Amino acid sequence: MNMMNRKSAVRDYGFIIIIIVLGLFNAFGTIISALSLFAAVIEYGIVLTLLSKGKYRESFIYYIAFVAITLENDIFIYGERSMANSNRFTFLNIPILGAYVFQLLAFIYLYMGYQDAQLNKYKIPSSIRQFQKWVIILFVTGSVSVIIGMFLNDNGIMNWDYYPQEAIIRIIGYLVKVSIILGAAYIVCDEKWFKMYERHLMYIIAAIAIISTITFILGYHGYYGDSEIMLSTLAIAYTPLLILFANKKINFPNKTLALTSGVLIIAVSLSMPNCIGSKWYMIILAAVAGWFIIFAKLKSYINIIGMTVVGLFLLTLLSEPLISLISGGNEFVEWKLTQAVKTMNIFGRDSAKDWYEDMDNSPLYRIDELHNTFIEYTEKPGYVIFGKGLGGTTRHHTNLLYWESGHGTFSESQIRMGAYHSMHETMAVLFLQHGIAGICFFFIMIGMLAKRLYKTPWAMIGLIWILFYWSYGVSLLIGGVAMVLAIRDNDEHPLKLNNKKNKLFNIR
């Protein structure tokens, strides 16, 4: 190893150690409030020091890391009964200023990344330009639609003092999210920084797996309702996908770190579940499927769909012994795993009606939300093209599920208002907020990522983010940055049907 490579390796391992140490401080800070404040001060000290020295790209990758390792939801730390005792600070919540510094930095990084791309005349890939075009359209129409909704007092929203603030929060949240993703997109137009961000993003995900494992060994845990779970950031969702980086068909450094971290966190989750719930097991299956797609270099939609069908059929045959083996007698693991299996077990029932009725309430809520939004649009067709806007609402029209029960499904303020704006899945969120335009955006992004699954692990991470986490969890935004890494290069070999070019699927 030459001197330059040795220095680079030292910096890389230094980065990993810093993230692990501060991640552990965040975990211990859930008990010792002063330690949580100390961790937040150190994190901002690193970010702002690098930024003041003009090293905004290095500052930004630490910014992404500190967001990803933040334990943002008290409900998954203390449970419902002891949330009132929470008195801690995070990178997203510092004394007096709250999340304002975090939000302001997102806009600063976007501005600096855009200015740098213009100054150096970087060629912005068409896929990035397409994403940029769509998010601008969705922002403009989403803002106008929600203002129209407030003007018309849609669903009686203006009868409640809290609502205008909720709409503003949604608009600001959208701007912060898009600023972080586009800021990364402009930076990685430079090949050097693209390679650097690839390495460091993998290091962050690996560090999350290591942090979660250490806290598990030390006996720290959180809560999911009354059940004990691993004390971890929401971004733990991506850790099973680390096994993709160890695939011999791709050229990626530190494959041993990726494989060890990925296998370790999957093994630990068999003893204690985490805050991701039933999706955790779907993500593990996605990791295995992604590994085979990369290994076999599957470039055809037909082959990928065929592999998916075979996998679901095998799941049907092996579901019961699989649940018994994996759960190991842990009732919570068995419950969440059963939820996941029932949702995917489409070949294990005599009809679609049987499959639907056998689902647990959690996945049924996701379907019911889409159904209610559809009914809302049939009654108010003027909204159907661009949706109800950022913070827009729907009434509860169906009687399949009791939305008014509370229990964390919808907030008390939404239940009192009788109008609901916090949908649970990306498709439901985009359909409510952006109508048909949002659904078009959803499938375009899935198409972009699906045709890159065979060549880069980032495509699967980006796909998980766009499928599940578009509007859920700030720490999960690292998945949006992964999406940018996946779509950065225009694919010279798009997915094909029967090995013949098909323009319908040639989404750039």
- Please state the domain count of the chain: 2
Residue 112 has pLDDT above 90, yes or no: yes
Q: Which amino acid is at 364?
A: L
pLDDT of residue 5: 65
Residue 416 lies in a domain: yes
Q: 365 and 352 in one domain? A: no
With CA atoms as reference, report the closest residue to 279 among 363, 208, 222: 363
**Which pTM was predicted?**
0.86
Q: 428 and 369 in one domain? A: yes
State the maximum Cα–Cα separation within the chain, in Å, rounded to a whole number. Answer: 68
Residue 327 lies in a domain: yes
Residue 398 lies in a domain: yes
Residue pLDDT, tens place only, 235-261: 999 999 999 998 888 888 888 999 999
Residue 319 has pLDDT above 50, yes or no: yes
The three-state secondary structure class of 347 is: coil
Residue 332 lies in a domain: yes
Residue 204 lies in a domain: no
Confidence of residue 505 (pLDDT cuts 50, 70, 90): very low
Residues of the chain with pLDDT > 90, as a percent, come to 47
Final residue of a structural domain among 450, 474, 500? 450
Residue 499 has pLDDT above 50, yes or no: no
Residue 326 lies in a domain: yes
Residue 313 lies in a domain: yes
Q: 144 and 176 in one domain? A: yes
Residue 236: partners with Cβ closer than 8 Å, 6 or more residues away: 208, 209, 212, 230, 265, 274, 275, 276
Q: 417 and 399 in one domain? A: yes
Q: 430 and 367 in one domain? A: yes
Residue pLDDT, tens place only, 330-371: 566 655 666 665 665 555 555 555 555 556 666 777 788 888
Residue pLDDT, tens place only, 119-173: 877 788 888 999 999 999 999 999 999 999 999 998 888 888 788 888 899 999 9
Final residue of a structural domain among 333, 359, 385? 359
pLDDT of residue 404: 75
Residue pLDDT, tens place only, 440-497: 999 999 989 988 988 899 999 999 999 999 988 899 999 999 999 999 865 443 344 3
Confidence of residue 73 (pLDDT cuts 50, 70, 90): confident
pLDDT of residue 161: 79
Residue pLDDT, tens place only, 30-65: 999 999 999 999 999 999 999 999 999 999 999 999
Helices in 120-162 by DSSP H: which ranges?
126-151
Q: 409 and 386 in one domain? A: yes
- 207-221, 240-254, 366-380, 412-426: which is most confident: 207-221
Which residues constitute the domain of residue 158? 123-187+360-450
Q: 135 and 172 in one domain? A: yes
- Rounding to the nearest 10 degrees, give the CA dihedral for residues 359, 362, 367, 373: 150
From residue 144, how far is each of 133, 393, 422, 440, 448 by CA, in Å?
17, 14, 19, 19, 28
Residue 176 has pLDDT above 60, yes or no: yes
Q: 393 and 340 in one domain? A: no
Final residue of a structural domain among 359, 380, 401? 359
Q: 319 and 309 in one domain? A: yes
Q: 366 and 352 in one domain? A: no
pLDDT of residue 498: 40
pLDDT of residue 122: 79
Q: 429 and 401 in one domain? A: yes
Residue 257 lies in a domain: no
- Mean model confidence pLDDT for the chain: 83
Instruction: Check if the beta carbon of residue 420 is closer than 8 Å to that of residue 461.
Output: no
Residue 104 has pLDDT above 90, yes or no: yes
Q: Which amino acid is at 126?
A: S
Mean pLDDT of 225-238: 89
Q: 393 and 444 in one domain? A: yes
Here the tokens at position 81 are 């009964």
Residue pLDDT, tens place only, 372-407: 999 999 999 999 999 999 988 999 888 877 777 755
Residue 180: partners with Cβ closer than 8 Å, 6 or more residues away: 64, 67, 106, 109, 110, 477, 480, 481
Could you give the CA distance from residue 219 to residue 212 in angstroms, rounded to a whole number?
11
Rg of the chain's alpha carbons, rounded to an integer?
22
